């Protein structure tokens, strides 16, 4: 990047608003994925006007721009794959408006997901999407990736809660998409913008729908001696028409790692557990909790325990949300995938993952959103062993190929980013991808925003690519 450009950015944002020394950029080489890429500089705008000026400078110098929230993403979405400027929204973190009566909020992109829920809890509301990284991840990042989380089974993912966006396009034009009232006229630009992984524009304000907190919540822990019994229970719950607020599964390996770390009271000798939340009106919760417990028992659950109170419920969920951190404590490296399958295919898929682990002699733990068929197999390997690393990538690819063959998808909530771009042709035809690229061109005609993401680069589909230095991955969704 030109010295002149850095000087102009510093003039614009002040010294504290620009990082460009190599040691300062190290942190921004990473997100929560196994990818890395170093930007030329990192800037910290404080307002939409700052963003507009940054975009003008970048456009003038034809430098790539990459938006970044907290860097917790799991697909390399916030990494500057082709260098350029990382636009960190860490200082655009104000909650601009809370409208309790209409259950709306207007926020800047750097607001941390959990902070918004905490700030409206006294009004009986929350922001429903709850990625595992919700204590760190930002709402701007959630919008870019269309993030999910355990409770999106009943409440939907980010796109179901976004009503409007203010965005800055690479042309430096400010666009208002959607509106606080529902049903803005014309095409659903907000809908297509959410989940575009920072390739359409830089989001500078987000209008959100807030959701009432449920009157009652019951958390059940069903313990199994067989993974098949656990997965068959999930399929049965779905087909019986019960939609729990969350339905998560952890296998035996994960349970032991989590228990050692969090001490949540998980049975370390079990083959799998299901962690299930039902919520709503007290009467509904009583009925559904009983129905779920009966289904678990009918599928040979060894025990079904109801969390006694909020503190026990919080502890169980803390265990689930720290499962990936727990994996990091017992293995030098791990690689997490994000495939999705139809829920009825869970038993067969888990069996296939076990076979793949045996084939490559790799331990694979499973912790995932069972209720919506969103898998997160954790493949353990040693980063110092290149063969193990290659095998881990091959194993992950085979899992994803199985998901696709089962009628599923390559990513349920982590995004494509630079991690799964090469897998896109397994799911989409050339014509599909071409149309997507042309839609990107409507907003981002010169591909200045987050280049090198989503679409396959020159690497052939299915080609195994070995990263120079695999690193430890971070918590998953």
Partner 1 sequence: MIMAATAVSESLGSIIGPENVITDTEWLRAYRLRTSTPKLVLRPGSEREIVEIVRFAAAEKLSLVPAGARSKLAMNIPVHAHDIALDMTRLDRVVAYDADDLTLSVQPGLPLSRLAGILGERGQFLPLAVAFENRASVGGTIASGMDSPLRQLYGTARDYVLGMEFVTGDGQLVKSGGRVVKNVSGYDLHKLMIGSFGSLGVITRINFRTFPATGSMRGFVSSAHSALEVAGMRQRIAQSPLRPLTIEMADPTAVELLWGNTIRSAANGNWALLVTFAGSEKVLGRYEREVRHLAGSHEMELLDEKKAAAALSRVREFAPLALESSAQTVIVKMSVLPSRLAPQLDEAARVCQGYELRWAALARGIGVIYFALLPSAQDEETRDRVNRALCELFEATEGRGGNFTVPWCPEEWNADVFRRKTTRNDLEQMRKIKRVFDPNGVFACGVDIP
Q: Which of residues 115-154 bind partner 1 (CB under 8 A)?
A: 124, 145-146, 148, 152
Burial of 196 (0-12, 13-18, 19+ CB in 10 A): buried
Beta strands 41-43 and 65-68, pairing class? unpaired
Three-class SS string for 328-352? HHHCCEEEECCCECCHHHHHHHHHH
Question: Structure tokens of 37?
Answer: 């890429």
Only segment of 45-53, 126-134, 245-253, 419-427 that touches partner 1 (CB under 8 A): 419-427
Residue 436 is a binding residue for partner 1 (CB under 8 A): yes
Task: Give CB contacts under 8 A, 24+ apart, made by 94-99.
Answer: 95/119, 96/205, 98/123, 98/210, 99/180
Q: How far is the CB of 121 from partner 1 (least distance, A)?
A: 15
Which residue carries 């690193």 as its tokens? 471
Which residue carries 């397994």 as its tokens? 426
Beta strands per DSSP E along 172-233: 174-178, 202-209, 211-212, 216-224
Query: 404-439 burial, b if ≥16 CB within 10 A, otherwise e?
Result: bebebbbbbbbbbbbbbbbbbbbbbeeeebeebeee
Residue 353 is a binding residue for partner 1 (CB under 8 A): no
Task: Work out which of 332, 342, 347, 456 binds partner 1, going by CB under 8 A.
Answer: 342
Question: Structure tokens of 196?
Answer: 């575009």
Task: Work out which of 2, 351, 359, 438 binds partner 1, going by CB under 8 A.
Answer: 438
Task: Work out which of 6, 25, 439, 471 binds partner 1, going by CB under 8 A.
Answer: 439
- How many whole angstroms separate alpha carbon 260 and alpha carbon 267? 11
184 or 325: CB nearest partner 1? 184
286 or 355: CB nearest partner 1? 286
Residue 472 is a binding residue for partner 1 (CB under 8 A): no
Q: At what angle do helices 252-262 and 310-321 cross, to 10 degrees?
A: 120
Q: How many residues bind partner 1 (CB under 8 A)?
A: 86
Residue 441 is a binding residue for partner 1 (CB under 8 A): yes
Residue 432: its H or E element? helix 430-443
Residue 217 is a binding residue for partner 1 (CB under 8 A): no
Task: Work out which of 62, 122, 241, 469 binds partner 1, going by CB under 8 A.
Answer: 241
Only segment of 14-22, 65-73, 337-345, 382-390 that touches partner 1 (CB under 8 A): 337-345
Task: Work out which of 208, 301, 416, 418 binds partner 1, going by CB under 8 A.
Answer: 416
Residue 280 is a binding residue for partner 1 (CB under 8 A): yes
- How many whole angstroms separate alpha carbon 3 and alpha carbon 92? 26
Residue 412 is a binding residue for partner 1 (CB under 8 A): yes
> Shortest CA distance to 464 belongs to which of 413, 405, 423, 406?
423
Question: Structure tokens of 88?
Answer: 């960190």
Site residues (CB under 8 A) for partner 1, limited to 46-85? none
Residue 471 is a binding residue for partner 1 (CB under 8 A): no
Only segment of 35-43, 88-96, 234-242, 349-357 that touches partner 1 (CB under 8 A): 234-242
Question: In the chain, what is the straight-line distance between the N-terminal and C-terminal CA atoms, in Å?
Answer: 34
145 or 277: CB nearest partner 1? 145
Residue 425 is a binding residue for partner 1 (CB under 8 A): no
203 or 416: CB nearest partner 1? 416
DSSP state of 214: P
DSSP state of 44: -
Residue 102 is a binding residue for partner 1 (CB under 8 A): yes
Task: Work out which of 238, 322, 331, 388 binds partner 1, going by CB under 8 A.
Answer: 238
Task: Count the alpha carbons within 13 Å of 293 in the hemisphere toward its beta carbon.
Answer: 15
Task: Work out which of 26, 27, 306, 435 binds partner 1, going by CB under 8 A.
Answer: 435
Q: How far is the CB of 91 from partner 1 (least distance, A)?
A: 26
3-state helix vs strand vs coil in the chain, percent to 5? 40, 20, 40
Burial of 7 (0-12, 13-18, 19+ CB in 10 A): exposed
Q: How far is the CB of 343 from partner 1 (least distance, A)?
A: 5
Residue 428 is a binding residue for partner 1 (CB under 8 A): yes
Site residues (CB under 8 A) for partner 1, limited to 153-192? 156-157, 159-160, 175-177, 179-189, 191-192
Task: Work out which of 61, 228, 287, 398 binds partner 1, going by CB under 8 A.
Answer: 287
Which residue carries 């807030």 as its tokens? 210
Residue 33 is a binding residue for partner 1 (CB under 8 A): no
Q: How far is the CB of 123 from partner 1 (least distance, A)?
A: 9
Q: How far is the CB of 230 from partner 1 (least distance, A)?
A: 17
């Amino acid at each position: 990047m030109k010295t002149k450009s850095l000087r102009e950015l510093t003039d614009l944002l002040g010294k504290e608003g620009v990082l460009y020394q190599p040691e300062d950029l190290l942190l921004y080489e990473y997100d929560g994925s196994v990818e890395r890429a170093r930007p030329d500089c990192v800037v910290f705008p404080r307002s939409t006007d700052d963003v507009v000026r940054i975009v003008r400078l970048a456009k003038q110098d034809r430098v790539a721009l990459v938006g970044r929230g907290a860097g917790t993403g799991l697909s390399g979405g916030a990494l500057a794959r082709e260098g350029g400027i990382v636009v960190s929204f860490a200082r655009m973190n104000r909650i601009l408006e809370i409208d309790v009566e209409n259950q709306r909020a207007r926020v800047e992109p750097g607001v941390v997901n959990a902070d918004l829920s905490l700030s409206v809890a006294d009004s009986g509301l929350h922001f429903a999407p709850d990625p595992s990284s919700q204590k760190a991840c930002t709402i701007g990042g959630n919008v870019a990736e269309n993030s999910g989380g355990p409770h999106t089974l009943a409440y939907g993912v980010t796109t179901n809660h976004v009503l409007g966006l203010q965005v800055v396009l690479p042309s430096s034009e400010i666009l208002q998409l959607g509106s606080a009232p529902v049903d803005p006229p014309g095409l659903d630009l907000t809908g297509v913008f959410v989940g575009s992984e920072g390739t359409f524009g830089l989001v500078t304000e987000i209008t959100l729908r807030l959701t009432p907190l449920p009157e009652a919540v019951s958390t059940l822990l069903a313990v199994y001696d067989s993974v098949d019994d656990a997965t068959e229970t999930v399929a049965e719950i779905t087909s019986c028409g019960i939609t729990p607020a969350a339905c998560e599964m952890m296998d035996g390996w994960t349970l032991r790692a989590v228990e050692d770390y969090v001490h949540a009271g998980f049975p370390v000798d079990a083959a799998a557990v299901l962690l299930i939340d039902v919520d709503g009106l007290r009467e509904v919760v009583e009925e559904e909790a009983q129905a779920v417990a009966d289904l678990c028992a009918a599928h040979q659950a060894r025990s079904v325990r109801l969390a006694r109170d909020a503190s026990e419920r919080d502890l169980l969920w803390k265990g689930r949300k720290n499962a990936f951190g727990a994996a990091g404590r017992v293995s030098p490296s791990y690689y997490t995938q994000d495939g999705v399958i139809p829920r009825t295919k869970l038993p067969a898929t888990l069996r296939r993952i076990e076979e793949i682990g045996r084939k490559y002699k790799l331990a694979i733990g499973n912790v995932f959103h069972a209720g919506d068929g969103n898998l997160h197999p954790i493949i353990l390997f040693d980063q110092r062993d290149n063969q193990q690393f290659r095998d881990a990538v091959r194993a992950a690819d085979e899992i994803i190929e199985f998901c696709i063959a089962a009628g599923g998808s390559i990513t349920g909530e982590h995004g494509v980013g630079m991690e799964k771009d090469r897998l896109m042709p397994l799911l989409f035809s050339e014509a599909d991808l071409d149309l997507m690229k042309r839609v990107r061109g409507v907003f981002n005609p010169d591909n200045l925003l987050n280049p090198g993401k989503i679409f396959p680069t020159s690497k052939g589909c299915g080609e195994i690519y070995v990263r120079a230095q695999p690193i430890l991955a971070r918590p998953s969704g």
